[in-house]
Amino acid sequence: MNILYVYAHPEPRSFNGALKDTAMVTLGKLGHTVKVSNLYAVRWKAVLDTQDFRMRQDPYQFNPALEQIHGIQTGSLSPDILEEIERVAWADLIIFQFPLWWSSMPAILKGWFDRVFVQGFVVHLEKGQVYERGLLKGKKAMVVVTTGATREMYSPGGVHGDIRNHLSLITHNIFEFVGMTPLPSFIVFGAADMTRDEGSLQLNRYRAVLEKL
């Protein structure tokens, strides 16, 4: 399988770094071809703005959605975006790994979606190409996430609310919206307070999940 691994943690020596390294070894052993988009390592530009467009459709008034459609049609999006678009097109499965920040993804990853999932490539609203007809239909996607809070806190009725509701902004409103099939999310609850032994158990659990992909 061709796997794109989009990774968003600023510290290679973190537990997230260990999860990512575990994935690289495991997926490699299984014979998958893996490309990594290590967003902090490449200092990914997180902000969608006029610089993303080398040939503006309307140089007077900036309309991000219309410029994205024009940019994908003319191949004039900035090279860092085009490179990621090629990787997404190539992938059968995309894994997004990140620590939960403010019950969501870190801004650098949100910026990856803002800039890479351009209309005309992942969906086409005017043509009704969303969800079942989304342009990334046939691909699978998976969230791998660590939290500081406990499983109880992120349970239905818990102080933070059900984590599945928070993640559905990604798994439903992004993955399914563009046609991709979400795989079950891999969640490490209470990661911030784990001992190394508990961390090792979680790495083993992740390895086992990847082996069943």
Ligand X SMILES: Cc1cc2nc3c(=O)[nH]c(=O)nc-3n(C[C@H](O)[C@H](O)[C@H](O)COP(=O)(O)OP(=O)(O)OC[C@H]3O[C@@H](n4cnc5c(N)ncnc54)[C@H](O)[C@@H]3O)c2cc1C
Our CB check for ligand X shows the closer of 91 and 105 to be 105
Helix, strand, coil in percent for the chain, rounding step 5 = 40, 20, 40
Contact flag: residue 146 with ligand X (CB under 6 A): yes
Indicate the residue type of 8. Answer: A
148 flagged as catalytic: yes
List the end-to-end C-alpha distance of the chain, in Å, as a whole number.
10
131 flagged as catalytic: no
Among all chains, which residue has been given the structure tokens 């009704």?
A: 128
At its nearest, how many Å lie between ligand X and the CB of residue 202?
7
For the purposes of burial, counting CB atoms within 10 Å of the CB of 22, is it exposed (0-12), middle (13-18) or buried (19 or more)?
Answer: middle
At its nearest, how many Å lie between ligand X and the CB of residue 156?
16
Contact flag: residue 191 with ligand X (CB under 6 A): yes
154 flagged as catalytic: yes
State the catalytic residue, choosing from 5, 7, 154, 206: 154
* Catalytic positions, written as ranges: 148, 154, 160
Q: Which residues of the chain form contacts with ligand X (CB under 6 A)? A: 9, 14-16, 18, 99-103, 146-149, 191-192, 194-196, 199-200, 203
